Structure 1
Amino acid sequence: MVYRIFVEFFKIWKPYVFPSPVSVAETFIRLLDNNVLFIAIWATTKRMVIGYLISLIAGIILGLSIVKFGFLDRNLRPLILGFQTLPSVCWLPFAILWYGLSEKAIIFVTAIGSLFSITLAVESGIKNVNPLYIKAAKTMGAKGITLYLNVIIPASLPYIISGMKQGWSFAFRALMAGEMLFATKGLGQVLMVGRDLADMSQVISVMIVTIIFGLVVEKAIFGPLENQIRLRWGLKNT
């Protein structure tokens, strides 16, 4: 009803610029019937998982290294802070130059999109661990890798989980940018086809799928994980 008022009565919106909910629903069903969405979601999910796991492993290692070695903290951390503010799309020319128009280029952009936020989250989490926990653990004989595994890393998990969530969103944005430029399949490619054909119903359908994708990941993975960590450390009532 609201849509018809603005389109037919006030003539503020143009149907070809802002399609109706019915048109979007019809396009969504068409994409499902043609298996276009299923193929695109699978391709995007695969790239996202690979790129994010790479950034997660590299970010944890880099964050631990910054905390462990003072010269890295002094010299590398400011550089990482600078890279964190750099939009992920800026890495696309390097990705294409190094890897060509390939899957590796898209995965590289995805990984670099979340690497720095995860690194900073690990570094901040470890540095903000309550010193009393560390002193108590050392008093009980914990040191070295045992101290890290049993005290420091578990105590820094709330910060790390927050960084992982932020890194996921950054990685997904970088992935969509890569797919929009040169992917042969994926949600970004389907969105670009809609743009090239001036089919805004398809564009909005992909946007809705992207939002649903993010909500599913939040509810199925990060939400329960964050709640469990908060319960573990007494930050949330049972």
Structure 2
Amino acid sequence: MASTDTKATRDDLAGLEAGLDALDAVEVRRSPVREILVEKALPPVLAVALVLAVWQLLVSLGVLGLLVARVKFVRAAIGPILQGLQSLPSVAWVPPAVLWFGLNDAMMFTVILLGAVPSIANGLVSGIDQVPPLFLRAGRTLGATGLKGVWHIVVPASLPGYLAGLKQGWAFSWRSLMAAEIIASSPDLGLGLGQLLENGRNNIDLPGVFLAIILILVVGIAIDLLIFSPVERYVLRSRGLLLKS
């Protein structure tokens, strides 16, 4: 009887020790610093960087347009190239972009930029060409020469043309994105409207095809109504070309 009690006690002690060992073996998982940075801090930084990159791109295009419009040898050298790039279908950039970067977001961004940049630059050049010479003479009379004349006379007067170039650049970039998604379809890129359109064609799903077309049209109209139309109205009102309602 005593031996049985002793054996039970030993079994209980062994079970208790095993439980304590299991508790000691449990490792409390802490979120590593890298994971916290990637999930919490990285998205806002990327958003700010994207805004700054877009702003820097617009400024760079503005400088390029000013150089092409105001410097003769630059216009002779770069002007025909910009015109040729604008007439080149943006879908032609998809194959080289895939070979350069593979099927990833960098390929998409490259195709979008190559489709939009020539239109924006040419829009600014056209806007500068349409600045009345009287404005420039009046500016020189008031002392606005050199960079002051460019900043206070040329840039404000060419703003409608630059805005038209931005609208055209948006249209070209939107078409470029749809064409790239249709041609370079990949699960790594996610499901976009272009891929939705292509999937509807492959599955002979006519309602799905028209749904994708309607969604593409709705996005284009929404961007125009929410972004470009208010800016265009503001520019026209500032020049007295549109009465305030």
The equivalent of 2:191 in structure 1 is 185
What CA distance in whole angstroms lies between the structure 2 residues aligned with 1:52 and 1:94? 23
What CA distance in whole angstroms lies between the structure 2 residues aligned with 1:169 and 1:195? 23
Using a 3 Å threshold, how does the CA distance of structure 1 residues 231 and 54 change in structure 2: closer, same or farther?
same
Q: Offset of 1:63 from its aligned partner?
A: 1.0
Matched, 1:214 2:220: yes
Matches within 5 A, 1:1-238: 56-180=58-182, 181-182=184-185, 183-238=189-244
Q: Offset of 1:185 from its aligned partner?
A: 2.4
Q: Which has the higher contact order (CA 8 A, sep 6+)?
A: 1
Q: Supply the AA of the counterpart residue of 2:73.
A: F
What CA distance in whole angstroms lies between the structure 1 residues aligned with 2:122 and 2:94? 22
Using a 3 Å threshold, how does the CA distance of structure 1 residues 55 and 108 change in structure 2: closer, same or farther?
farther
- Normalised by the length of structure 1, the TM-score is 0.74
- Normalised by the length of structure 2, the TM-score is 0.72
Q: What SS class does the counterpart of residue 158 from structure 2 fall into?
A: helix
RMSD, matched Cα:
2.2
Q: Offset of 1:224 from its aligned partner?
A: 1.1
Structure 1 stretches lacking a partner, 5+ long:
1-45
The answer on whether the counterparts of 1:115 and 1:167 sit within 8 Å (CA) in structure 2 is yes
Q: What SS class does the counterpart of residue 190 from structure 2 fall into?
A: coil
What CA distance in whole angstroms lies between the structure 2 residues aligned with 1:214 and 1:224? 15
Percent sequence identity over aligned pairs: 35
Structure 2 stretches lacking a partner, 5+ long:
1-46
What CA distance in whole angstroms lies between the structure 2 residues aligned with 1:167 and 1:199? 32
The answer on whether the counterparts of 1:55 and 1:112 sit within 8 Å (CA) in structure 2 is no
Q: Offset of 1:146 from its aligned partner?
A: 2.2
Q: How many residues align?
A: 191
Q: Supply the AA of the counterpart residue of 2:225.
A: K
Q: Offset of 1:231 from its aligned partner?
A: 1.3
1:21-44: CA deviations, max 9, x gaps?
xxxxxxxxxxxxxxxxxxxxxxxx
1:111-136: CA deviations, max 9, x gaps?
11111111111111112111111111
Q: Offset of 1:60 from its aligned partner?
A: 2.1
Q: Offset of 1:52 from its aligned partner?
A: 7.2
Q: Supply the AA of the counterpart residue of 2:93.
A: W
Deviates more, 1:83-92 or 1:135-144: 135-144
What CA distance in whole angstroms lies between the structure 2 residues aligned with 1:58 and 1:93? 26
The answer on whether the counterparts of 1:56 and 1:115 sit within 8 Å (CA) in structure 2 is no
Q: Supply the AA of the counterpart residue of 2:81.
A: L
